Every structure is written in structure tokens, then in C-alpha cells.
């Protein structure tokens, strides 16, 4: 997904952000949740993934970057590519990340109240910054977006295809000028300073026009994460 209408993130201010690179050059985002585990979108699946932690720029070498291959991929067993339900995947890194001020974990939610309509949230990524421009951003970008009522999102933007379920979140900008899009998939959605959802899939049309869809982190999702990674997440 791309960041539309956003701004450059202060360098290394999001040390939990993971840059995921596919073998075809396409990008995804992710979140370091344990020193050897990254949470992302199941849509980012690829047989050969590279994970970079501590990154700000794509092109600059940056001594603080840590690069990994993926030992194992764990797409959610109930992920449905058509409906977008359970759009989550865990990546086990080949070695343990060195945690420091440039690379650190983001805590998973412990409270699971639904996110209220009109709540301001933030999403970040390295995707293109213009819906018509397919070139990835060289630096990490972020944008503030607003949660939209599911019924409104279903009727006005998606017309029940896909259906925005209780396990999803719809968020964007009523003026159609702020959003995430394709190459930001897998990155975290932060609401009220807490990790609440994972960027799922983009609108079927202009990313700047329609809101994005996010996978809410529910108690069942946290249980799945714990089962895969071992112990508390």
C-alpha cells in the first residue's frame, strides 16, 4: 500500500517497522513483535522474502539496518484471499534481531474494545506517495487517517464487496486525500498510541479516493500469535 497525502517519518522514530521485500521487488510493511518474529499481511506471502529492520531510506546503506531472510512463513490458517478475513501472517527470521534504539518490538494489544468511528489513527510505509505514481517512496512515510463506520464503508465505498466485518476496520480521509495503499500492506495501524490493526488490502479503485481496510487484532488473533511464536506475545 502507498502512503497518500502523508509526511516523512522522523528518522528511526518507528523502530518496530519492518521493510519486507519480495523477490519481484515489490514491498510490504511489517511489525517486529518479538526479536525473531514479524507480523504482517498474508497478502505479502512470497517463497523468498527479505526483511530489513532499522531502515528509514530504501536507497541509503544506513549502518543501523539489519537484514534477514525468513526461516518460516505462517499465513493465518483461516485467511481468505477473496474476503480478506484473517489477513495476517507471521514471519520467523533466520536469526534473532539485535534490539537497540533503532530496532525494537511493538507491544500487541491487551484490550480489545472496538475502535470508535472518527478515531484518529496513523499508518506508515514505504509505498508510493501518489496514486498515479508507482515508484516506492525512498523514505518511510506516515499519514493520519480516520476510522469510518463499517456500515457507511460497506454501502458507500465497497458495496458489500468485500464485506467489512467486525474483524476489520475501515479508515481513510473524507476528502479522499489521505490513505494507505498496495505496498503498505502488512504495516501496523496505531490508534490512541496502541497497535490495533494490520494494513490489509487497498481499495479496488483510486487509493486516494476510497478508504483502506485493516485487520483488527482480536483475542483470537493474539492467541494464534502466541501459539505460533510460543508464550506470551
For every residue of 119-140, DSSP letters joined together read -EEEEEESS-SBTTB-SPPSB-
Domain assignment present for 95: yes
144 and 163 together in one domain = yes
pTM for this one? 0.91
Domain holding 90: CATH number?
Answer: 2.40.10.10
What does the pLDDT profile of the chain (233 residues) look like in tens digits?
Answer: 444 457 889 999 999 999 999 887 778 999 999 999 999 999 999 989 999 999 999 889 899 999 999 999 999 999 998 899 999 999 999 999 999 999 999 999 988 889 999 999 999 988 765 555 566 788 998 989 999 999 999 998 888 888 999 999 999 876 654 455 555 689 999 999 999 999 987 555 555 567 889 999 999 999 999 999 997 64
Q: What is the DSSP letter of 182?
A: G
Q: Are residues 196 and 118 in the same domain?
A: yes
Residues 199 and 153 in one domain: yes
Q: Are residues 139 and 189 in the same domain?
A: yes
Range of the domain at 43: 17-105+219-229
Residues 138, 197 share a domain: yes
Does residue 7 lie within any of the structural domains? no
Q: What is the pLDDT of residues 36-74, one digit of tens each?
A: 999 999 999 998 999 999 999 988 989 999 999 999 999
The burial of 222, by beta-carbon neighbours within 10 Å (0-12 exposed, 13-18 middle, 19 or more buried), is given as middle
85 in the same domain as 121: no
The total of structural domains in the chain comes to 2
- Are residues 114 and 152 both part of a single domain? yes
Distance separating alpha carbons of residues 84 and 43, to the nearest angstrom? 9
**By CB neighbour count within 10 A (0-12 exposed, 13-18 middle, 19+ buried), where does 72 fall?**
exposed
Instruction: Report the C-alpha gap between 106 and 233 in whole angstroms.
Output: 10
Q: Are residues 119 and 205 in the same domain?
A: yes
Residue-level pLDDT at 102: 97
Residue 11 lies in a domain: no
Amino acid at each position: 500500500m502507498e502512503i497518500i497525502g502523508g509526511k516523512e517519518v522522523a528518522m528511526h522514530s518507528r523502530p518496530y517497522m519492518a521493510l519486507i521485500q519480495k523477490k519481484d521487488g515489490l514491498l510490504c510493511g511489517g511489525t517486529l513483535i518479538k526479536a525473531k518474529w514479524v507480523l504482517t499481511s498474508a497478502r505479502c506471502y512470497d517463497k523468498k522474502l527479505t526483511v530489513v529492520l532499522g531502515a528509514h531510506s530504501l536507497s541509503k546503506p544506513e549502518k543501523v539496518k539489519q537484514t534477514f531472510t525468513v526461516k518460516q512463513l505462517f499465513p493465518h490458517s483461516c485467511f481468505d484471499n477473496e474476503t480478506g478475513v484473517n489477513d495476517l501472517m507471521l514471519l520467523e527470521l533466520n536469526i534473532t534481531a539485535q534490539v537497540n534504539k533503532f530496532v525494537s518490538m511493538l507491544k500487541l494489544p491487551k484490550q480489545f474494545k472496538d475502535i470508535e468511528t472518527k478515531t484518529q489513527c496513523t499508518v506508515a510505509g514505504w509505498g508510493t506517495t501518489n496514486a498515479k505514481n508507482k515508484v516506492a517512496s525512498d523514505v518511510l512515510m506516515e499519514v493520519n487517517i480516520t476510522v469510518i463506520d463499517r456500515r457507511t464503508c460497506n454501502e458507500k465505498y465497497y458495496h458489500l464487496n468485500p464485506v467489512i466485518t467486525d474483524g476489520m476496520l475501515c479508515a481513510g480521509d473524507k476528502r479522499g486525500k489521505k490513505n494507505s495503499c498496495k505496498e503498505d500492506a502488512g504495516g501496523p495501524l496505531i490508534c490512541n498510541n496502541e497497535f490495533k490493526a494490520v494494513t490489509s488490502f487497498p481499495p479496488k479503485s483510486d487509493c486516494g479516493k476510497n478508504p483502506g481496510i485493516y485487520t483488527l487484532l482480536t483475542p483470537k488473533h493474539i492467541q494464534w500469535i502466541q501459539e505460533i511464536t510460543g508464550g506470551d506475545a
